[in-house]
Amino acid sequence: MAALAYVGGYFVGAGISFTADNWYYVAMNKKKLYVGCAINNLSPEQRKKFFVDVSRLKDDLRAHFEVLDFVTDQTATPRDIYRRDIRECVETADFMLAICDHASTGMGYEMATAIEYKGIPVLAVAHADSSVSKLIRGIDNRGFSFKQYRDFSDILPLALEAFRP
C-alpha cells in the first residue's frame, strides 16, 4: 500500500489528497470494488504465484476502494462460495474488476450478474497472451470495458482510470 505524506495541511499520496478534518469521511466513504478472477484450473504453482500478484494488486487498490474479497478457503462449499461471491460481493459492489487471464464459468457468471443484473461498471482485463472468449470481448454494454495488459502492474492504472469518479 502506498504511503501518505502530510504536506501543507493535506494528506497526499497514491493519487488521493484530503485534509486532517475530512480523513474520516474519505476513509469511510470509499466505493466498493469486487476483484474477481479464475483460479480453479490453475496448477498449485500457478495458483500460488497468481494469488501473490492478485493480493498485491488488492493491497494497492485498497488505497482507493473498499475491496471485497472472494472466498479463498479450499474447504468452502459451493453454496458458501455462491453466497459470498455473488450475494455479499458482486451484489453489493459499486464496481467490478474481472481478471480474465484464465477461462472460468464462475467468473462469467459474476460478470453477467454485475453487468446485466446490477448494472455496475465492469472492467475486464487479460494478459495480452491470454485467450479470452469472443463473447467477453464482444460485450457492448455501456458500463463494460475490456483491456489487455503486458505486466500485472499495468492493471492498477487501468482500474483507477476506469473507475474514476
pLDDT in tens, 36-55: 998 888 899 998 999 999 99
Could you give the CA distance from residue 74 to residue 97 in angstroms, rounded to a whole number?
Answer: 22
Q: Greater confidence, 21 or 138? A: 138
Better pLDDT: 142 or 7:
142
The whole-model pTM stands at 0.81
* Residues ≥6 apart with Cβ < 8 Å to 24: none
161 has pLDDT over 60: yes
Other beta carbons within 10 angstroms of residue 69's beta carbon come to 14
Q: What is the CATH number of domain 31-162?
A: 3.40.50.450
| Residue with cell string 470495458 | 145
pLDDT at 71: 79
The pLDDT-based confidence of 1 (bands split at 50, 70, 90) is very low
Residue-range domain boundaries for the chain: 1-28, 31-162
